[in-house]
Amino acid sequence: MVVVIGFEGSANKLGVGIVKDGIVLSNPRHTYITPPGQGFLPKDTAKHHREHALDVLQKALDEANISPDEIDVIAYTKGPGMGAPLVSTAIVARTVAQLWRKPMIAVNHCIGHIEMGRLITGAVNPTVLYVSGGNTQVIAYSQRRYRIFGETIDIAVGNCLDRFARVLKLSNDPSPGYNIEQLAKKGKKFLELPYVVKGMDVSFSGLLSFIEERAPQLLEKGEYSPEDLCFSLQETVFAMLIEITERAMAHCGSEEVLIVGGVGCNKRLQAMMEVMAQERGAKLYATDERFCIDNGAMIAQAGWEMYRSGQTTPLKETSCTQRFRTDEVEVTWRS
Ligand code: MG
């Protein structure tokens, strides 16, 4: 029996989760929400994490009904992510590891998403679409690595959506992407936008500039409603993602596709992926907001896999890094 506590704080969610042999015992989270029209800055986000760290940690222990001496290992997000929030969260993890005299394990955030998705859905060897505010990658496992088959060459798809939400001054509560999704459901008129797929990669920054520049005029003239623009943006960026995911599945002969990351709980993205999967005779796996949005349990779960395969991270190596690619980690827990 192995009990792992995981600390996540690479972006604007602070999460602490406890996992015991494939069972999520607790997974509380606190999200830093900025006013409409504003993004979250590293310094302020780190302050949020520091302010809420002890509360969220206590909640995780209480909900799991577990005491520190029952915990075997402390997992934390090493990266990728925003520097200051990563460091604030890692300091909490290092502090409790020393207070409780427990080993630590440094986890790649992207791998946390993949392992959480596999645990919750039961997908065995899926092609993974990882889509969030900071990451956009198509990933598949091969020879002890999660290999990146395609990715964004500039901004993440979630960042594209978040920044368009700022143009429309949409609320960031619970997330800008959620509010875009709700408006998009009422969109009727499609605006053609740049569709940028380059081989296996995608690009969103030109598309974002295009719609950012034109939106104020189109809205003012009444040619398009905010709902129409949200609809057009979602349809375009999701189609790009489905295209590269399908190509990776064809290459790998994959019969499973798993969507993870914060954008992964978007129902329209899931529906579009389902159509593609069905046409290929493949099965779609997705999770809801509890598990696809950044959380502590996903770090605990990846840590659990790593720990069981013999890995730990010496205290003096428990640093953070803003850049940490998915394929840098040797996957010692899969055959
Ligand atoms: Mg994430």
DSSP E strand boundaries for 37-168: 73-79, 104-108, 127-131, 136-142, 145-151
Domain assignment present for residue 120? The answer is no
Domain assignment present for residue 277? The answer is yes
Whole-number Å distance, alpha carbon 262 to ligand 1 midpoint, is: 6
Same domain, 83 and 197: no
Same domain, 254 and 147: yes
Q: How far lies 42's CA from each of 47, 81, 92, in Å?
A: 9, 10, 17
CA distance 213 to 45: 28
Same domain, 275 and 309: no
Whole-number Å distance, alpha carbon 12 to ligand 1 midpoint, is: 10
pLDDT for 287: 95
Same domain, 250 and 276: yes
Q: How far lies 193's CA from each of 93, 162, 211, 212, 283, in Å?
A: 44, 17, 7, 11, 30
DSSP E strand boundaries for 222-294: 256-260, 283-286
Same domain, 259 and 162: yes
pLDDT, averaged per 10 consecutive residues of the chain (335 residues), comes to 98 98 98 97 98 98 98 98 98 98 98 98 97 97 97 98 97 97 98 98 98 98 98 98 98 97 97 98 97 97 98 97 97 94
Q: Is 21 exposed, middle or buried (0-12, 13-18, 19+ CB in 10 A)?
A: exposed
Domain assignment present for residue 312? The answer is yes
Same domain, 59 and 203: no
Whole-number Å distance, alpha carbon 83 to ligand 1 midpoint, is: 14
Same domain, 156 and 280: yes
Whole-number Å distance, alpha carbon 260 to ligand 1 midpoint, is: 8
Cβ atoms < 10 Å from Cβ of 81? 26
Same domain, 75 and 11: yes
pLDDT for 31: 98
Same domain, 104 and 158: no
pLDDT for 92: 98
Whole-number Å distance, alpha carbon 214 to ligand 1 midpoint, is: 30
Whole-number Å distance, alpha carbon 275 to ligand 1 midpoint, is: 25
Q: How many domains does the chain have?
A: 2
Which run of H or E residues covers position 24? strand 23-26
Same domain, 104 and 129: no
pLDDT for 335: 83
CA distance 268 to 235: 8
pTM: 0.97
Same domain, 163 and 30: no
Domain CATH code at residue 233? 3.30.420.40
Whole-number Å distance, alpha carbon 191 to ligand 1 midpoint, is: 29
248 is in which domain, residue-wise? 125-290
Same domain, 65 and 78: yes
